[in-house]
A and B are shown apart, each in its own frame.
Chain A
Amino acid sequence: MQEPDSDPTEADEKPQRSAIYSLIHGTDLWLTLIILTVCGGLYYVTSGFDEVPQILAQNITPEWFPRLLIWVIVFLALLLPIEHLFHARGKKHLDEDRRHRIKPMAVVTAGLLTLVVASMQWLGTYLTMIFLCIALPMLWGERRLKVLLPFAIIFPTIVALLFTQVLKVYFEPGIFGLGLR
């Protein structure tokens, strides 16, 4: 029951707001906004494509197909916040894989791998693999040095020999000049 001195508009707003919340999926709304922003950016990029004479393009200009795809993606993305309404199990069905937050280990792992890739130019491919084979297992809790050290040396050496000697691939030698050629 509504109290006599409370603001009636505020009380009316609450169920309305919860009704909107049940219609729109919050996380998916964010997803839509991200997709729309990326699509907006890409659409802008298409406006910078070189122009071609009509006779060459035959009505199919270089930006025509990418723009068509961008519009398709935009249309589909707009459906995302209300998609749960089409599923019998609603939000639960779509949220099964994102029920738990991303564990910090995944973020740190992604950071380490970025560092590994960034160091490839300076360390060279072979040393980068050794660095990876030491750093990632240690990050993931491997502390048995008797296992870790032979693995970190033998495995990258085998991979490097396989690629350079058998497949004749050129490896970045890095600042130490280790290309295993």
Chain B
Amino acid sequence: MDIVLEGLGLVFEPFNIFLILCGVLIGVLVGALPGLSSPIAIALLLPFSISLEPVQAIAMMSALYCAGTFGGSITAILINAPGAPPAVATAFDGYPMAKRGEAGRALGIAAISSVSGGIISLIIFLIATPYLADLALRFRPPEYFALAVFALSMLATISGRSSIRNLIAGAVGVLIGTVGIHLTTGVERFTFGYPEMTDGIHFVPVLIGLFAMSELLKQSQTLSVVYERITAVVVKLPSREDFNKIKWTILRSSGIGTFIGILPAEGATVAAIMGYNEAKRWAKNKEDFGKGDPVGIAGPEAANNAATGGAMVPTLALGIPGSATTALILAALIMHGIRPGPYLLRETPEFIYAIFGAMLIANIMFLVIGLVGAKFFSRVTLIPRTLLWPSVFAFSLVGSYTYGSSLLDVWIMLIAGVIGFLMARHGFGAAPLVMGLILGGLVEESLSQSMIMFDNNWFKFFESPIVVFFFILTTTSLFWPVISPWVRKLINRNVSESA
């Protein structure tokens, strides 16, 4: 109990509360702005966070992560342009409700559902993280290698259109991670004579390039897009009738969202779509969906915010990020000299409770800010893109330079941005590359150590049941796109037979 209070005490310091408030405001803002998203904002925050204490930096980023997911729903409801991908499903019913003059009601339902999902997932986060960390204490290098490969394969399969392309992106990320001095032998690899690269390619400029710069290039192609806007009225909290209608959906979607979030993949977006589909499947009046049904707003909103708490579980307990945004939070932790994983929980458990506290405060803050300021946040889309994106690039420029005070980093950011833009065009995801880059060190280290332990005998990997378990999961996830139609057919046949 003392540790819990100590952790929460860290967050309740005035300066930390101020940073959480900043994180929430930035999160809701970037969430509301189509094109900008929480990964971009966190990538741009990374260089700033160097000057902060680790708890402060992570608290601010976690708050931004939660608030960014909600921010996207404001523009999804008011202008049918989800500010962030997780809010896509919110627009299905949120916009029609707003169109018939009930924008305030739609925003209120979204806010309450989002906060409820977030808080439920945080409770699960608090309970599950120590258990998972305890389990992870039994992991040796082979188990860690199998887990990292599973994480990469999951992300490749669930995110984007093509698992093959995402796997290539993940492998490229790991390959970029090999640049610099080889730890075992001290040999320089892929440094091409640049002394700045002996420490490896800093991931801050790569992340800024992949997320911010590539989005800027994408935006340069859509300068003429104009959004149809619905004037927001006063946001209303859900009525008793509405609440009775959505309460079970919130609970169900929170469970789905937390579970999806824990899996290493593009958590919030997948969770939101699953939350919407499940809400529709359980609904009595399915024909109301798409016409402004409150359950159609509550389902995805509770799920997408629940995924944020879920995604923090593997990030902190195992050091394996649960989404692109948590991969960036993991990068921030590494930058501050902290390696998340079971030992973090054993040595500094108060850190986990501090993050829990920060996310809890963030949820309450964005409920208030969302209810009071929705009208204002819907107006941020009025900021001309001709000024917004140059500002983003100015931050990218300075941010990537700041990290190593090197112009080479700025060039790396630029190149990463152009490559990221071309990759996205051809279906290669940025998230698997980032995950590969961040996990690269762990993958190489654990594989090398395993091979030394096993005297170069690959078959010895299969002597560990945990490794076999992860390899089975990896194989299933890799072949899921091929086997899923058969599984679906089998389920449908069983259902029709039993009916």
Contacts and interface: CB of A to CB of B under 8 A. Distances in A.
A17 interface: no
A155 B386 CA distance: 14
Interface of B: 48, 50-51, 161-162, 164-165, 167-168, 171-172, 174-175, 178, 182, 184-190, 213, 216-218, 220-221, 223, 384-387, 389-391, 393-395, 397-398, 401-402, 405, 407, 410-411, 414, 417-418, 421, 424-427, 444, 447-448, 451-452, 455-456, 481-482, 485
Given A52-B187, A116-B397, A140 B171 contact: no
Contact of A72 (B171, B384, B389, B451): B171
A88 B389 CA distance: 37
Contact of A142 (B185, B387, B398, B401): B387
Contacts of B164: 76, 79-80, 83
A86 B482 contact: yes
Contacts of A50: 187-188
**Interface secondary structure of B, over-half rule:** helix
A61 B387 contact: no
B111 to A, nearest CB: 31
Interface string A35-55: 100000010011001101000
A53 to B, nearest CB: 9
Interface of A: 27, 31, 35, 42, 45-46, 49-50, 52, 56-63, 65-66, 69-70, 72-73, 76-77, 79-80, 83, 86-88, 93-94, 96-98, 102-103, 105-106, 109-110, 113-114, 116-117, 120-121, 125, 128-129, 132-133, 136-137, 140-142, 147, 151, 155-156, 159-160, 163, 166-170, 172
Contact of B384 (A31, A35, A142): A142
Given A42-B190, A106-B218, A141-B386, 5 more contacts: A62-B182, A102-B425, A103-B221, A155-B394, A163-B398
13 contacts: A60-B448, A62-B189, A83-B162, A94-B161, A97-B427, A98-B425, A113-B216, A117-B411, A132-B394, A133-B391, A137-B386, A137-B387, A169-B401
B223 A105 contact: yes
A142 B384 CA distance: 9
Given A106-B217, A125-B397, A125-B398, A151 B185 contact: no
Contacts of B223: 105, 140-141
A129 B426 CA distance: 31
A32 to B, nearest CB: 10
